[in-house]
Structure 1
Amino acid sequence: MSAPSPEAPEAPGLTFLAELSVTVGEPIDVGPTPEGHRRVIPITGGTVSGPALNGRVLPGGADYQLLRSATLTELDARYVLETDDGHRIFVHNSALRHGSAGDIELLNSGAAVDPSKIYFRCWPRLTSASPALEWLNTRLMLGTGERQPGRVVIRIFTVD
């Protein structure tokens, strides 16, 4: 007689936090380095909307990209959000973007690519000095991304 198999543990849930529509400028191409091809994408502004956060993306941040291969890009974006009531939030968003070589080439040129063809997942860290937003400092978050012409759309979820 065999022992009963243990049940798989329950996975944590996710709660939608906000959608960020981040506008971006022209890429600054650094070129091939020992780690991969580097690019810097200026962040020029945008909006934040959701059940827990509403406001805007302040200009001045950037997405530091490392094209590891023709199909895989590592993203490291850092920028600031300002809520409608004036609170500021620092965002450090790490992400992986993967797709066929042709689709990634199109994305990198600024063209539209069907989001279902691209794996774009992120783990944003949101921190704030505001007592009203202190709870952000104590939560893990995950997200999905879509690169669109002139902007990136990030949907952020808190891990319950």
Structure 2
Amino acid sequence: MPLTLEYAFTITVDLGEPREVGTTYAGFRRVVPIAGGTVDGPALSGEVLPGGADWNLVRADGAVHVWARYEIRSSEGAVVTVINEGLADPAGPPEGAADRACPTHPVFEAPQGGPTWLNTAFFVGRLCLPTAPGGPVAVEVHQVLVH
């Protein structure tokens, strides 16, 4: 059975000032607060709520492990928890790439009465890093469909 991707929505996240924890046994840890943002797309719209963070880790091999947890509020008012995990290639983007991005796997926890289809669907994301210092990040969320 072939798999296809269907674009669902984009989460644009405004970031706060990173807190550098420093080098730990696992690598170099920093915590990046989530200050807000938007959700926009054909399957879901709303806002990113302030709070939560990305607890990212630069591993010894240079790869960056992204692990973010935060909440979004749908345009209908449901508060949905997001956990988004990804791994950026230590080699960085290919020569001549217009942007910096890495694959992610967002998982959602929606309450009863909310967009509960998020709870059982499988998603992949494309985390687009800021083009300027202090700029927002965007996660393009695609639903994986099995035919």
The aligned counterpart of 2:112 is 130
Aligned partner letter, 1:159: V
Q: 1:20, 1:119 → 2: CA distance? A: 14
How big is the shift at 1:119? 4.8
Aligned partner letter, 2:71: V
1:67-101 CA distance string (max 9 Å, x none): 01463100000000001121111000001112447
**Kept after mapping to 2: 8 A contact 1:124/1:141:** yes
Give ranges in structure 1 of 5+ residues lacking alignment. Answer: 1-9, 104-112
Q: 1:136, 1:21 → 2: CA distance? A: 18
The aligned counterpart of 1:88 is 79
Q: 1:147, 1:82 → 2: CA distance? A: 23
Aligned partner letter, 2:142: F
How big is the shift at 1:66? 0.7
Residue 10 of structure 2 corresponds to residue 19 of structure 1: yes
Residue in structure 2 matching 1:49, options 40, 45, 50: 40
How big is the shift at 1:131? 2.6
The aligned counterpart of 1:157 is 142
Equivalent positions of 1:70-85 (< 5 A) are: 71-85=62-76
Residue 48 of structure 2 corresponds to residue 66 of structure 1: no
The count of aligned residue pairs is: 139
The aligned counterpart of 1:145 is 127
| Larger-gyration structure (1/2) | 1
SS at match of 1:131: coil
What is the TM-score normalised by the length of structure 2? Answer: 0.87
SS at match of 1:158: strand
Give ranges in structure 2 of 5+ residues lacking alignment. Answer: none
Q: 2:137, 2:120 → 1: CA distance? A: 25
Percent pairwise identity: 35
1:91-147 CA distance string (max 9 Å, x none): 00001112447x8xxxxxxxxx941xx450000001101334111111110010111
Q: 1:119, 1:69 → 2: CA distance? A: 20
**Kept after mapping to 2: 8 A contact 1:77/1:94:** yes
**Kept after mapping to 2: 8 A contact 1:96/1:119:** no
SS at match of 2:115: helix
